[in-house]
Structure 1
């Protein structure tokens, strides 16, 4: 299908090269004269294009929906349809990274009370410095508010360090109802087991080889990998701590979250606090176990402690 702009160019070419009249040129290419004479009455959008390109350059892994949220915050009256059109015309589409094949099957939702500190999730993500030295980042996420509560980068993070970071976080924010993590050696260490027992905090381990049972933390790690770690060259641990800390603050207070209706986690948390201490469970939840206790055959933390 030939677009109107191409037909206008064809008519102009016939008139200039073969000295045809407009009527005859339109008849040759079967074009309507009204379409050939039409001139766009759209308002000038050069400033919006410039701002959209600047935002896309600043937020390289954001699609048009999140960019529209930022423009709306700045007072831009244009609708999402116009922003999407300019987004496509400017060639700003985000390149999709190759993803893993997803498992097929039904998954039972988890009952989570809709209030802050109802449940935290822990997980590690890895990266390396410019010189090749590897480091890890301990991420702690509130599963309800989707806030990143802590993001701790270091070259080595032991169970004792995990306990120290959790204690400092509880002193600032309060104690969680439960904590979910995988079966990493740091998270199944005696230091962690004793700490959870002393603080009377339920600690649930996901089944081995089932990272989807820790989906909130895995999702956050994916966003961090895509938007920060893959886009940044870290030259030192000091620089890594500063950049990760700034990104965490931006994630909590500025970045719109699609699962929260494009609100920021901080705004969503404030709304939940305003609802009061008693909140209904999240929609779609049902009563089901959080995860299986690991390692296999161990049901009480005291058994691991006694085993040394």
Structure 2
């Protein structure tokens, strides 16, 4: 701002001389100003003393500051309106917002950074990370093959293929690629105190049985009898059919026992297939303890209910079955992949088949002390995955 040549005191002094009778032309020549300037001073400061002139000058300066603040606030409001529909969370989003304000409103970088509350060093920073094109492509392909797998299971599968990246890097790429799996329904949490039942850590200690329903492409409904080992999490049987009676359940369990061995206990709900005379007679004949959960408490059959949820989420909701034979083939392939390839988090991301083999080998070593000097240790879970417990709680 150009500084004035004359102060208020000097201007008032010149006007006092003019009021005393001095001519305008002589005053203008004496002080080096034009007559127009003299008349402008008279229109503005005429009749004032020095204190009043200073007060007027202070009011003008304050008014100019207020106008400047108002203009700046209006500019800030206009800038915020430009960013109203932009989500400014994270450095990348703030960089885009600053670039938008500079391009649209012509703001300086300093002013734009103050509006979005960003540091200028963060705005000027350029990432030095590698592009990770190959890893991103592998992650997308794997996520398309396993559409209901989250980043933890995808990380385990990548580690199996020899990928050295950590779980945090995989999670970052997983989020940047938009591969997040949406939950189809809210998870209902148990309320109150529960007393878990400890079962022996060995295969065939306890089985769980339950049904899951679906329909074919033609609209005909069918059901799947699922049998799960509660300790190893293995899918022992997944039998689809349009009608499965208690006699059919007994026949399938008999074949399963002949192939795998007799369980210590079987858990089920109060379905008519499990409470029929055929099933009661079968349990008594084979001397198998059959435990019925409390009515309306499916969480007491949690292992099979969890397996049903995984089957529903990863197979039934993702597949269209054109016939019963097609459904049997797809379900059998999925159950085999579940046992041999899918890494459950409850087992420390080891496959059920591998975990069952380890338990069997450990039991054999305990029965034969000579083998204790040559133990077989399971490979550790990848970084970021939790290890499984020796005992499994049910309830």
Question: Normalising TM by the smaller chain, what interval?
Answer: 0.7 to 0.9
Name the counterpart of 2:320.
Answer: 233
2:207·2:265 contact (CA, 8 Å) conserved in 1? yes
**Aligned partner (choices 196, 208, 213) of residue 109 of structure 1:** 196
Indicate whether 1:194 and 2:286 are aligned. no
Q: Deviations over 1:251-279 (max 9, x none)?
A: 10101101111111111101111111669
Counterpart among 235, 243, 264 of residue 156 in structure 1: 243
Distance 1:12 1:216, change over 3 A: closer
List structure 1 segments (4+ residues) > 6 angstroms apart after TM superposition.
15-18
CA gap of 1:126–1:39, structure 2 versus 1, over 3 A, is same
- CA distance in 1 between counterparts of 2:392 and 2:241 reads 38
Aligned pair 1:269/2:373, yes or no? no
1:35 positional shift: 4.9
Secondary structure of the residue that 1:275 maps to in structure 2? helix
Q: Structure 1 residues 149, 7: closer, same or farther in 2, change over 3 A?
A: closer
What is the CA–CA distance in structure 1 between the aligned matches of 2:99 and 2:269, rounded to whole Å?
A: 67
What is aligned with 1:208?
295
Structure 1 pair 242/35, CA: closer, same or farther in 2 (3 Å)? same
1:50 aligns with 2:137: yes
Once the two structures are superposed, what CA deviation does each residue of 1:172-231 show, in whole Å capped at 9, x if it has no partner?
111111111111111111111111111111111112222111111111111111111111
Structure-1 separation of matches of 2:208 and 2:142:
31
Structure 1 counterpart of 2:334, from 239, 242, 247: 247
Distance 1:14 1:152 in 2: 64
Larger radius of gyration: 2
Task: Report which stretch shifted further, 151-160 or 36-45.
Answer: 36-45
Shift of 1:59: 1.1
Distance 2:282 2:302 in 1: 24
Cα 1:272/1:42, change in 2 over 3 Å: same
| SS of equivalent residue, structure 2 residue 291 | strand
Aligned counterparts of 2:173 and 2:339: Cα–Cα separation in 1: 28
CA gap 1:159/1:8 in 2 versus in 1, 3 angstroms: closer
- SS of match in other structure, 1:276: helix
Aligned to 2:308: 221
Higher relative contact order (CA 8 A, sep 6+): 1
The 5 Å alignment of 1:65-214 reads: 65-99=152-186, 101-214=188-301
Contact 2:217 2:322 in 1 (8 A): yes
| Residues 26, 146 of structure 1: alpha-carbon distance in 2 compared, 3 angstrom cutoff | same
Distance 1:113 1:15, change over 3 A: closer
Number of residue pairs matched by the alignment: 281
Structure 1 runs not aligned, ≥5 long: 291-308
CA pair 184-41 structure 1, distance change in 2 beyond 3 A: same
Unaligned runs of 5+ residues in structure 2 are 1-87, 368-388
CA-CA distance at 1:26 after TM superposition: 4.1
Aligned counterparts of 1:32 and 1:139: Cα–Cα separation in 2: 57
Q: 1:51 to 1:252 in 2, by over 3 A?
A: same
Larger fraction in helix: 2
